[in-house]
Chain A
Amino acid sequence: MAKQHITFKLNGKQIETLVEPRELLVHTLRENLSLTGTHIGCESSHCGVCTVDMNGQSVKSCTVLAVQADNAELKTVEGLAEADGLHEVQKAFIEEHGLQCGFCTTGMMMRAYRFLQENPNPSEEEIRWGMSGNLCRCTGYQNIIKAVQTAAKNLQAAEKSVEHV
């Protein structure tokens, strides 16, 4: 199969690569680019462990073709932390014990990262619905909800302090 040339911005860096037309984005990330923080759990969009951010939306990279990401802006868990340390979402997951085996965590955090931009001050009910595309087998979700709440609070506080300055 003739390979396609695609280009996208990944975690702030411009990437050019050749992919098969049928290649899934998750395989491009994991196999070609060796970014294994994005995981594979079902290959059918159900579990969400492969969630990445594409053009300002959460997508499940196991059901996105790599060619669909041509010219896109992508963010994966590897790009979540900032120069001055972990992102508030990452810190909150540690603080609230929002992870156990870690396998769903990267996709879960990428969804939380986007969700909190869609809804910066969510209720528990809104978190439950807004995060419902991501499955977890270990935590029973309760501490993930707490983590999202804590991240929301800290992100808002950080924003306020920026405004203040």
Chain B
Amino acid sequence: MGEAIDKKDREAALQGMGCSRKRKEDARFVQGTGRYTDDIKLPGMLHADMVRSPYAHARIKSINKDEALALPGVIAVLTAEDLKPLSLHWMPTLAGDVQAVLADEKVHFQYQEVAVVIAEDRYIAADAVDLVQVEYEELPPLIDPHKALAPDAPILREDLVGKMEGAHSVRKHDNHIFNWQAGEKEATARVFQHADVVVSQDMYYHRVHPCPLETCGSVASFDKVNGHLTVYLTSQAPHVVRTVVSMLSGIPESKVRIVSPDIGGGFGNKVGIYPGYVCAIVASIVLGVPVKWVEDRMENLSTTAFARDYHMTGEIAADKDGRIKALRVNVLADHGAFDACADPSKFPAGLMHICTGSYDVPVAHVNVDGVYTNKAPGGVAYRCSFRVTEAVYVIERTMDVLAQKLNIDKAEIRRRNFVRPEQFPYDTCLGWQLDSGDYHTALDKVLYAVDYRALRKEQEEKRARGELMGIGLVTFTEIVGAGPSRNCDILGVGMFDSAEIRVHPTGSVMARMGTITQGQGHQTTYAQIIASELGIASDDISIEEGDTDTAPYGLGTYGSRSTPVGGAATAVAARKIKAKAKKIAAHLLEVSENDLDWDVDRFKVKGVPGQEKTMKEIAWAAYNDVPEGMEPGLEAVDYYDPPNFTYPYGVYLCVVDIDKDTGETSVRRFYALDDCGTRINPMIIEGQIHGGLNEGFAVAMGQELPFDKQGNLLGNTLMDYFVPTFVETPHWETDYTVTPSPHHPIGAKGVAESPHVGSIPCFTSAIVDAFAHLGVTHMDMPHNAYRVWQQIQELGITE
């Protein structure tokens, strides 16, 4: 009894996995001593600002810098001509294309970078931007991706004319980027021909932007004497940036130091490498002084990293009972003017082929065509793993359409098609292996929690009275934690991740990872993993990330990969240390390793009470009393190459009431059950889920980057671009089940993106459901009041 209490106390003292440990990063943030990129001020630092194109498609006839250069305080104005001798006027993208750093003879999208001004302060730089005179000859813009492959479409990329071998496939038109397919086309078509029921739904997943509150920026500092380049920048993947900068500049990687300091939100926006970063670096190399570039909000929304923009058709062939026989998905992907999507190299449409979702689908085919248009490049994963939000949206929407067609309840049709618990690990027909899940239990738990039957009854009564009430339901499965290096790399570097742990003689720990936190609380949670593995209190464990001079090489944080990959590396590195510690303990206790049992924070000799060595004692011994032949010290590094992705899942339910006069939607209830496997810190998980739900709400209900026919971006300030405030944001209810990943060292799957991925189709499902009894099967996002009001008008159901 006493021993059990002692054990419990020792466990609690560690603050290891499973406890809601308060965050270690908060102390500096609440005091205003966080250090973000724009907070960095180096001696003699200059400021860069961009001259941008007012046109979506135009030829540059001339650029006159004279007036700008004459302004006191202006140091330089650089254009593509100036970067050409250095071969830096174009740069490679992560997707195998190239992107103009500064427009080379032509501009391809509105707000494209045309020239960069370097000045003594940001006010002078902004003044000088207005003084640079650029003469343009307008060209017909290509805005509608459906017209991109027409024979008479304006050709965008003159640098690619005639190059019909693209990075991912043969190109069938000068505006074509790639065709990519997964699954079995003919076999799928055969099933569709003979199916009892076929449904088909077109849907447009609109162009949005992650819009973190901190915009992108960098401070580059090149030391001409020793040839070292240091760059502070807002990057979710600093090591990848180091490799790219070294390749582009010719500076050896050992002399390039990239530092991601505190990051004010990423959400995918900060994965890419942007012209502004390159310009700051080039300017610093040329001028020999530090140069800062920080974009403003309009530049952020207009140029760096849009997301989505998928025109999709989802089709299901099923039997009369609603059991899926085949799935077909067709996508036209608008990639903008340069293919700068941030996907693993082999997957130009990301992991779109996770679109079989949580369902047992016998055969499927996915076809994606990517095209160029006169819009900004990007295609990032906005709070999701690569294109997983799109995949989940298409399957969940199409399931609803099938349910409606067969007049089967949308919970019931999902239950009938779920992969069953005994089928895991489950090989999908599109090539993934779902690691673990218990979808039925999760669904039942949610339906019970919200009293689904009562909600349906209420809805029936309201419908009879002419009121609009909708119930949305989504049962999604994600694919995160990219990924196994056999199929995942970025620019040829496998998508492993790393951890390096050092136990000091007095038993405290310093650990460094290749990932980088942006609010997820890595400094708190990684320490919890190490605490549980090594029996060292998490308060004695310091975590560092983001400085490529000190952290081991990693691919960074996005696609919910930190816990699945970096967290695994951390656990494995800790286990290497523990294995050595056990040898030392055996040596100290003069027994064989087999005689030892692990007990929270110490090794005990089996059956001999009191014969034990704590990790603290072992740490000390590691530096002065190790077994003969063993090297001293207690540290380990692990580069973890995951055997598989992880597959978190969830069941979300949303209840909305719609005002028939105004079209305004009120989200009465949002219930989110997530299963992310082993839970490291429930407080942080809940926080991540709240945030992801809110970003999903933003996308579904209002965010949009719309263009007019000339390619003018119509909403690039926070006046137009919807970021929900406290007032619009619904109250969130969260719940969970725990189904650990069998292949992950601690069974964790990653969590922060599920709520974004899962909530978006759930909002659409709820809103369409409010009109479903009137024959509506789908409404495109964003579901703002005006668009919903239009639907009401179209149906003629005003009072």
Chain A residues at the B interface, C-beta cutoff of 8 Å: 20, 22-23, 27, 30-31, 34-44, 46-47, 49, 76-78, 80-81, 86, 90, 93-95, 97, 99-106, 109, 127-129, 131-145
A35 touches B690 (CB 8 A): no
Q: Are A46 and B719 in contact (CB under 8 A)?
A: yes
Q: Which residue of B lies closest to A40 (CB)?
A: B38
B213→A135 contact, CB < 8 A: yes
**Contact with A137, one of B28, B41, B121, B211 (Cβ below 8 angstroms):** B211
Residues of B within 8 A of A127 (CB): 726
B690 with A139: CB separation less than 8 A: yes
Q: Is the CB of A77 within 8 A of B213?
A: no
**B484 at the A interface (CB under 8 A):** no
CA distance A139 to B123 in the complex (A): 33
Measured CA separation A37–B36 after assembly (Å): 10
B478 is an interface residue with CB less than 8 A from chain A: no
Which of A76, A101, A135, A139 sits near B723, CB closer than 8 Å? A135
Smallest CB–CB gap between A8 and chain B, Å? 18
A42-B717, A46-B718, A99-B29 given as contacts; is B683 within 8 A of A22 (CB)? no
A142 close to B213 (CB less than 8 A): no
Give the residue of A20, A94, A132, A138 whose beta carbon is less than 8 angstroms from that of B519.
A138
Q: Write out the residue numbers on chain B whose beta carbons fall within 8 Å of the beta carbon of A39.
A: 36, 38, 213-214, 264
Q: Is the CB of A137 within 8 A of B265?
A: yes
Given contacts A103-B264, A129-B726, contact A76 B213 (CB under 8 A): no
At the interface, yes or no: B267 with Cβ under 8 Å from chain A? yes
The reply to whether A78 and B31 form a contact with Cβ atoms under 8 Å apart is: yes
Task: Give the segment of B19-27, B137-145, B442-450, B496-504 that binds chain A.
Answer: B19-27
- Kindly provide the distance from the CB of B646 to the nearest chain A CB, expressed in whole angstroms: 22
Residues of B within 8 Å of A129, CB to CB, are 726-727
Give Cα A140–Cα B36 distance, bound, in whole angstroms: 22
Sample of 17 A–B contacts (CB below 8 Å): A30-B39, A38-B32, A44-B718, A44-B719, A46-B723, A90-B30, A94-B23, A94-B26, A97-B23, A101-B265, A102-B34, A102-B262, A105-B29, A132-B726, A139-B687, A140-B692, A141-B726
| Cβ A47 vs Cβ B33 within 8 A | no
Complex Cα distance, B30 from A106, in Å, reads: 6
A138 CB → nearest B CB, Å: 5
**B432 at the binding interface (Cβ < 8 Å):** no
B contact patch SS: loop
**Nearest CB in chain A to that of B38: its residue:** A40
B22 & A95 in contact (Cβ 8 Å cutoff): yes
Cβ B691 vs Cβ A138 within 8 A: yes
The answer to whether B263 has its CB under 8 Å from any CB of chain A is yes
Interfacial chain A residues near B29, Cβ < 8 Å: 99, 102, 105-106
Contact of A100 with B691 in the complex, beta carbons under 8 Å: yes
**5 A-B pairs closest in CB distance:** A37-B32, A103-B264, A102-B29, A101-B519, A140-B690
| A144 contacts across to B, CB distance below 8 A | 726
Minimal beta-carbon separation of A88 from chain B (angstroms)? 11
B: number of interface residues (CB 8 Å): 58
Question: Would you call B263 and A101 a contact (CB within 8 A)?
Answer: yes
Contact: A100 with B519, CB < 8 Å? yes
B661 within 8 A of A: no
A143 partner residues in chain B, CB cutoff 8 A: 687, 690
Residues of B within 8 A of A97 (CB): 22-23, 683-684, 686-687
Tell me whether B725 and A23 are in contact (CB under 8 A). no
The CA-CA distance from A101 to B267 in the complex, in Å, is 11
Q: Which of A36, A43, A100 contacts B296 (CB 8 A)?
A: A43
A41 and B297 contact, Cβ closer than 8 Å, known pairs A102-B34, A135-B213, A137-B211:
yes
Instruction: For the complex, give the distance between the alpha carbons of A109 and B34 in Å.
Output: 14
Q: Do residues B726 and A102 form an inter-chain contact, with CB atoms below 8 A?
A: no
Q: Chain A contact residues: over half helix, strand or loop, or mixed?
A: loop
When chains A and B are docked, how far (Å) is the Cα of A143 from the Cα of B123?
A: 38
The answer to whether A44 touches B22 (Cβ under 8 A) is no
Alpha-carbon distance A97/B734, docked complex (angstroms):
15
Contact between A141 and B30, CB atoms less than 8 A apart: no
Query: A120 → chain B, closest Cβ, in Å?
Result: 18
B486 contacts chain A at the CB level, 8 A cutoff: no
Name 4 extra pairs, CB < 8 A, besides A22-B123, A135-B723: A97-B23, A105-B29, A106-B32, A138-B687
B729 within 8 A of A: yes
Residue of A nearest to B731 (CB): A142
Cα distance, A51 to B265, chains bound together (Å): 18
Q: How far is the CB of B49 from chain A (nearest CB, A)?
A: 13
Nearest chain A residue, comparing its CB with the CB of B29: A102
Instruction: Please determine whether B297 and A141 come into contact, CB atoms closer than 8 angstroms.
Output: no
What's the least CB distance linking A63 to chain B, in Å? Answer: 13
Query: Which residue of chain A has the shortest Cβ distance to B681 in the bound complex?
Result: A97
Q: Which residue of A23, A46, A101 is within 8 Å of B717 (Cβ)?
A: A46
> Taking A37-B31, A100-B521 as contacts, is the C-beta distance between A44 and B717 under 8 angstroms?
yes
Complex Cα–Cα for A144 and B690 (A): 11
User: Which B residue sits closest to A145, measured CB to CB?
Assistant: B726
Given A39-B214, A102-B264, residue A90 in contact with residue B31 (CB < 8 A):
yes
| Selected contact of A36 from candidates B30, B32, B213, B732, CB within 8 Å | B32
**Do B213 and A41 touch (CB < 8 A)?**
yes
Q: Which of B177-216 contact A (CB under 8 A)?
A: 211-215
Q: Beta-carbon contacts of B674-699 to A below 8 Å, as 1s and 0s?
A: 00000000011011111111110000
Interface centre among B29, B123, B732 (most CB of A within 10 A): B29
The chain B residue with its CB closest to the CB of A103 is: B264
Interface presence of B520 (CB below 8 A): yes
Distance in Å: Cβ of A122 to nearest Cβ of chain B: 12
Contact B30 A105, beta carbon cutoff 8 Å? yes
Contact assessment for A47 and B38 in the assembled complex, using a CB-CB cutoff below 8 Å: no
Whether B732 contacts A142 by the Cβ 8 Å rule is yes
Interchain CB contact (< 8 A) of A140 among B25, B28, B717, B732:
B732
**Identity of the chain A residue whose Cβ is nearest the Cβ of B33 in the assembled complex:** A37
A109 touches B30 (CB 8 A): yes
Bound together, the chains give a CA A44 to CA B215 distance in angstroms of: 14
Contacts of B122 in A (CB 8 A): 27
Q: How far is the CA of A90 from the CA of B723 in the complex (A)?
A: 25
A139–B691 alpha-carbon span in the complex (Å):
4
Does B741 count as interface, using CB distance less than 8 angstroms?
no
Residue in chain A with minimal CB distance to B517: A101
Give the residues from 701 to 722 in chain B that come closer than 8 angstroms, CB to CB, to chain A. Answer: 717-719
A101 / chain B contacts, CB cutoff of 8 Å? 212-214, 262-265, 518-519
Assembled-state Cα–Cα distance A43/B215 (Å): 11
Task: Please give me the residue from chain A that is nearest to B300 by CB atom.
Answer: A42
Contact of A103 among B25, B36, B695 (CB under 8 A): B36
In the bound complex, residues from chain B placing their C-beta under 8 Å from that of A49 are 213
Residues of B within 8 A of A135 (CB): 213, 718, 723, 725
Q: Which residues on the A side are within 8 Å of B691 (C-beta)?
A: 100, 137-140
A86 to B262 CA separation, bound complex (whole angstroms)? 21
* Given known contacts A42-B718, A142-B690, A103 and B726 CB-to-CB distance under 8 angstroms: no
Report chain B residues within 8 Å CB of A20: 123
Residues of A within 8 A of B684 (CB): 97
Expressed in whole angstroms, the Cα–Cα distance for A25 and B190 within the complex equals 68
Closest beta carbon of chain B to A117's beta carbon, Å:
18
B19 vs chain A, min Cβ distance (A): 13
Nearest Cβ on chain A to B28's Cβ, whole angstroms: 8
Q: How far is the CA of A31 from the CA of B40 in the complex (A)?
A: 10
Most chain B beta carbons < 10 A, residue from A34, A86, A109, A142: A142
Are A100 and B719 within 8 A (Cβ)? no
Q: How far is the CA of A44 from the CA of B297 in the complex (A)?
A: 9
Closest to A81 in B: B31
Cα A71 to Cα B242 with chains together (Å)? 48
Alpha-carbon separation in the docked complex, A27 to B727 (Å): 29
For B519, the chain A residues whose CB sits under 8 A away are: 100-102, 138
Give the shortest distance, in Å, between B146 (CB) and chain A (any CB).
Answer: 32
B694 touches A140 (CB 8 A): yes
Closest chain A CB from B622 CB (angstroms): 35
Shortest Cβ distance from A90 into chain B, in angstroms? 4
> Please, how many angstroms separate the alpha-carbon atoms of A31 and B729 in the complex?
34
Which chain B residues numbered 240 to 299 have a C-beta less than 8 Å away from chain A? Answer: 262-265, 267, 296-297
Q: Is the CB of B25 within 8 A of A132?
A: no
